[in-house]
Amino acid sequence: MRTAAFIISAALVLLPGRGSEASAQSFTFTAQATSLSDTLGAELVFQGSFTNLSTLPLTLMFVRTLNDLPAGWESSLCFDACYPCWIDTIATTPDFGSSPLQPSETRPFSLHVYPMANAGTGFVRVLALDVRTPADSIGILFTATGLVVSVESPASLPAPPMLEQNYPNPFNPTTTIVYASPAGTFRLGVFDLLGRPVATLASGEQDPGIRSVVFDAAGLPGGVYFCVLTAGRYRETRRMLLLR
């Protein structure tokens, strides 16, 4: 038995694409597992499914909006067929060897992550949307972390600070922001074009992990705003567009 190995620890956060309006969704997009682990070089398979809740045939599009992986890693999308790692967008259409979902039909989906070399942390976000109504969407954020630990006593490490692009963007008046809070003090805020603070979305100390927060811009004029995450020397900025 090997006394040391690279263990892959994966976590997943389900993120509704339309805030609290989940009941209005024409479909569901869910995951069967929230945590996976394996040695470096293995294949991690995140399994899930999607179901048509409407009374009409449904064409869904899946977009890999984030594929931030360590060097030597790959990821690919699968439903009805598995697609090459360089394909970021697929749909339930004949062009992709698939077909629209019939009412009440459920079909499997999976994301495959291949941590072939180099320990580290990778992020993959998959956005599923109704082609007829793109705002009708659900996003899933996957986090895979490669660790050097003992096989007999595996451990996990908190994800490093991370700020994802808000969704939707442009938006009016609310948008969802996904971030990874680090250990220690941090601040997540929104600023206008002149650098003036508009809102503080989170600050202080939190248990390390991936979270989402909804920014409500009601009462603010339309224009460009910046979401900024700061933690020690780390600073990440995302540009947001509020439409009126």
For residue 39, is pLDDT > 80?
A: no
CB 27 within 8 A of CB 130: yes
pLDDT digits (tens, 9 = 90+) for 205-222: 887 777 888 999 999 999
CA angle, 46 then 47 then 49, to 5°: 140
- Please report the pLDDT score of residue 207 as a whole number: 77
Paired with 21 in beta bridges are: none
For 12, 50, 71, the CA distances from 165, given in Å and listed in that order, are 17, 24, 22
CA pair distance 68, 120, nearest whole angstrom: 11
For the ranges 54-63, 82-91, 103-112, 176-185, which has the lowest average pLDDT? 176-185
All structural domains of the chain: 4-150 (2.60.40.10), 162-242 (2.60.40.1930)
- Confidence (pLDDT) at 23: 42
Residue 168 has pLDDT above 60, yes or no: yes
